[in-house]
Structure 1
């Protein structure tokens, strides 16, 4: 499903904020939007993939976009060289699973 050197994730509260983060992430760097997950009680995570530098830039930009809207980022991370077994978790996020 994904072929990248890194993964970038942001988790915040509310769909509007996570959409703003995803938009900023995709516009700021050469990353692919893998998908999102409604975690619990309104917390939503968004996941991108790309090279390490692109994911770092995307996550930093996404965090700033959410904070500029006056919201709080619950968590963010960039995972360089993710283990292949993470594919089992990433498959759950995939937008491909949501499209008819």
Structure 2
């Protein structure tokens, strides 16, 4: 089954928390990466079937923007990412997230 990777970047932690929560509840996706960017920005990445990732990211964007003061800065989906993207970027299904697949 074709998989996709999606990322959302927000300003502030409450917005990324709301986005991540909404994404994992809206679709059959796995949160594979989270990190602080710079200047109060946060990034979260999910993986799963393309149709589920599309649905989950839309829910995450809506939730991130609905938080008081929340702002979604960027978002992007990579359907069927090539193997080198998965191997180089921190998007693998690790042992810590494997049980949530």
Q: TM-score, normalised by structure 1?
A: 0.83
1:39-73 deviation line (CA, Å, top 9, x unaligned) = 11111110000011111111100000011114221
Shift of 1:95: 8.7
The alpha-carbon distance between structure 1 residues 38 and 68, as it changes in their structure 2 partners (threshold 3 A), is same
Provide the rounded CA distance (Å) in 2 between the counterparts of 1:95 and 1:21: 23
Residue 85 (structure 1) aligns with: 84
The alpha-carbon distance between structure 1 residues 44 and 31, as it changes in their structure 2 partners (threshold 3 A), is same
4+ long deviations beyond 2 Å:
none
Listed as ranges, the gaps of 5+ residues in structure 1 are none
Alignment of 1:1-100 (within 5 A): 5-70=3-68, 71-87=70-86, 88-90=88-90, 96=96
Aligned length: 93
Shift of 1:83: 1.2
- Superposed CA RMSD in Å reads 2.0
The alpha-carbon distance between structure 1 residues 43 and 95, as it changes in their structure 2 partners (threshold 3 A), is farther
Listed as ranges, the gaps of 5+ residues in structure 2 are 97-101
